[in-house]
Structure formats: structure tokens, C-alpha cells
Amino acid sequence: MPLWKVALLSFTALITMVNPFAVVPSFIALTGNVSRATRSSVAFVAGVSCVIVLAVFLIAGNYLFNFFGITVPAFQIMGGIIFLSNALHTLVNDDRRGSNVGGEKRMEDSDVEKAEMDPTSIAVVPLAVPMLSGPGAITSVMVLVNLYPSIWQKFAVILSIVAVGIVSYLVLLAAVPLSRVMGDRGRTVFSKIMALLLGAIGVQFIINGLTPVLTEIMHP
């Protein structure tokens, strides 16, 4: 597979799980009373932290697989189920405040208190982890680890992770005007579209994971 296609497919899978647009309301609430410079700094640190977290799981993914004895098809099937369940939850649930295609992205009262004391302290937790690089995004990376095993393919995945971090930074940087333009209905429509893509990716992961298992069963 061409490296540009690996990067594009990886970017699509990751951006649907990270879904920075879903973090916009929480970001605005946490940084509503700070200066534009501070808000920019928080967005930058959150984007960089998201890249670091996902890159670490990409690099350490093979060691985790070997340590726990997990096969690639098993993780593909499990990852596909998680993607599909998150997508279905988004498509059938009209309440966008509780969860989204990227996993749980709730904002706790303690996060608001922390932001009031030191706005930059919320850039890593909870913005980068778990809102941006949550369980769904980490699962995506773990699936991509063995889906694209060669060094150059992993380099393409890292580039896609960096691209996701840049997009997340830009979205958070433009959070206030984006929130005004999109509105609640616009965010809902966007999330539904992302959920459809995520569901299709999840189904494909399940198919990819079941194929070698069924082949082994039918041809022992």
C-alpha cells in the first residue's frame, strides 16, 4: 500500500476518534475567563500532549501485544467493536453533552476549579487526556500498530498523528468563533457524519480481524 494512502487512512481513523470539535464546548468553558494568549498556549500544549500520548502508544504497541500475548486479529475485532458501538451510540443518542465518537469527554467540576487556579494546568488533563487522546484514539493507534508493521508505514502513521495534533490545535485555537458559527445543530450534524465514518471503519476492522480466524477454522 502506498505510504500516502497509509497516512490518509490513519489520519481518517484517528481524527474521527479524537474529534476535536467535540472538545470545543469544554475548552470554552475551561478557558472562558482567560486572555487570548493564555487560551492559545493551552490549545498548543493540549495538541502537543495529544501527539506525544498517541506516539508513545504507537512505539510501545508491539511490546504490549507481546507482553499480553494479544494477536492482531483479536485486537482488530475488539477495536472494531469499540468503534462501532461508539458510532451507534452517537447516531441514536441526541444528547451530545455526555459522550461522543471519541469516547467519554465529560468535564468535571474539579476541572473548572483547576482552570480557575491555573488555566494551563488543564491543557494536559483533561483536555489532552482523556478528551482528545482518550480510549478510542489509543485503541485506534494500537490497531494501526500491527495493521502497518513496516518502519516506513509507522512513520506515515506518526505523520498522521502529528497532523491530528495540528488540526486539534487549530480547532481549539478557533474554538470561540467556531462555536458561534457551528452552533449546537452544526456540531450535532458534524458528529453524526463523523460517526458514520467511524462505524464504517469499525465494521472494516471487524471484517479484517475475522477473515484470518475464519480461514484458519475452515482450513486447519
**Residue range 80-96, pLDDT digits in tens:** 887 788 778 878 875 54
- What count of other Cβ atoms lies within 10 Å of the Cβ of residue 208? 17
Residue 160, Cβ density class (10 Å: 0-12 exposed, 13-18 middle, ≥19 buried): buried
Cβ atoms of residues 3 and 168 within 8 Å: no
What is the model's pLDDT at position 180?
Answer: 76
- The DSSP code sequence of 32-50 is TTS-HHHHHHHHHHHHHHH
The identity of residue 80, as a single letter, is G
Q: Is 54 left (phi over 0), alpha (psi -120 to 50) or beta?
A: alpha
**Who has greater pLDDT, 179 or 113?**
179
Whether residue 119 is predicted with pLDDT greater than 70 in this model: the reply is: no
Render the burial of 162-200: b for 16+ CB within 10 Å, e for the rest: bbbbebbbebbbebbebbeeeeeeebeeebeebbebbbe
**185-206 tens-digit pLDDT:** 776 777 788 778 778 878 887 8
pTM for the complete prediction?
0.73
What is the model's pLDDT at position 212?
Answer: 86
What is the model's pLDDT at position 164?
Answer: 97
Nearest CA to 18 out of 198, 157, 187, 149 is that of 198
Whether residue 102 is predicted with pLDDT greater than 50 in this model: the reply is: no
What is the model's pLDDT at position 66?
Answer: 80
What is the model's pLDDT at position 165?
Answer: 97
Residue carrying the nine cell digits 512513520: 155
Nearest CA to 29 out of 124, 129, 99, 126 is that of 126
Whether residue 97 is predicted with pLDDT greater than 50 in this model: the reply is: no
Cβ atoms of residues 179 and 96 within 8 Å: no
Q: How far apart are CA 212 and CA 23, in angstroms?
A: 37
**26-78 tens-digit pLDDT:** 788 788 778 888 889 999 999 999 999 999 989 887 787 788 887 778 877 87
